[in-house]
Amino acid sequence: MKFLLKKELSFYLNNPIGYIVVLLFSIFANFLFVKDIFVTGSASMRPFFEILPWLLLIFIPALTMRMISEERRTNTLEVLLTLPISELNIVISKYLSALIICIIALLLTTALPMSMYFLTGDVGGKLYLPEIIVSYLGSIAVASSFISISLFFSALTKNQIIAFLTSVVVIFFLVIFSTDFAGNVLPTFLQTALNYLSPVTQFASFIRGVIDVRSVFYFLSFTAVFLILTIIDLERRA
């Protein structure tokens, strides 16, 4: 598996597209938070983590859209499937490489809490670091679930654009299920169920600095379900 993981990672590291996507994510993430930092007037990273799923909604499908669809289009998937490597290993190496790139992108945003921590220290409003660390762990969990969805849609088509758009639409609905908008337009019972299914709802406890075992289980099972569906799709033979 390490050879495939290395291949996937070197695609992003030896290719401008990897740097462009990560840099754009970092610029947008930093800008969207910094632009309101003096308006809100409080030393909190919560607004940053609240907008993060909306950024990941675009960033992750852009990162993963080619991962399997391009292999299908160029027929290199046939090469992989005639090598002694299981579908499980193929999917896991692609998932891990995307997750590593995401973690790098998230690390590029850590300058925000660090600078806020030092800037607010003198006025007695220091950030609570464990809360920030837990929020970042939650962000990785959200990214992991979005990667698994995007990887699944990338496996279903030979067209990267279709993979990107379908992933964005599905993740978009998952994100809005957690919003007040969904509460206003959907019947209560449906909204309650869909709200629970939204990764953003499960992420909320992490933003508060709480590691809720139920949310951890949710993210693990969510990621596993879509990775298993991707593996099943690769194992499918005409």
Of 82, 180, 184, 189, the one binding another protein (CB under 8 A) is: 82
75 φ/ψ sector (left φ>0, alpha ψ -120 to 50, else beta):
left
Closer to another protein by Cβ: residue 5 or 225:
5
- Which stretch in 76-84, 138-146, 147-155, 206-214 sits in contact with another protein by CB under 8 A? 76-84
Say how many residues touch another protein, by CB under 8 A: 22
Task: Report the residue number, 6 or 208, with the smaller CB distance to another protein.
Answer: 6
| Region at 8 (left for phi over 0; alpha for psi -120 to 50; beta for the rest) | alpha
Pairwise CA distance, residues 123 & 105, whole Å: 30
**Nearest-angstrom CA–CA distance, 199 and 212:** 13
Q: Rule CB under 8 A: say whether 7 interacts with another protein.
A: yes
Q: What angle do CA 49, 65, 17 make, to 5 degrees?
A: 80
x-or-dash string of contact with another protein, 13-32, rule CB under 8 A = -xx-----------------
Contacts of 197 (CB under 8 A, 6+ apart): 174, 177
Kindly tell me which residue out of 4, 56, 143, 227 binds another protein, with binding defined by CB under 8 A: 4
Q: Is 86 an interacting residue with respect to another protein (CB under 8 A)?
A: yes
The yes or no reply on residue 74 touching another protein (CB under 8 A) is yes
- Compute the chain's Rg from CA coordinates: 19
Tokens found for residue 197: 């299914």
Torsion sign, CA atoms 133, 131, 98, 62 = negative
Angle between helix 87-107 and 2-13 (nearest 10)? 40
**70 torsion bin: left (phi>0), alpha (psi -120 to 50), beta (else):** alpha
Determine if 91 is a binding residue for another protein (CB under 8 A): no
Taking the least distance from each CB to another protein, the nearer of 40 and 74 is 74
Binding region for another protein (CB under 8 A) out of 10-18, 37-45, 52-60, 191-199 = 10-18
Residue 68: CB atoms within 10 A of its CB come to: 28
Nearer to another protein, 87 or 212 (CB): 87
Please select the residue that binds another protein; options are 3, 118, 173, 181, rule is CB under 8 A. 3
- Provide the binding-site residues for another protein, judged by CB under 8 A: 2-4, 6-7, 10-11, 14-15, 74-76, 78-79, 81-86, 237-238
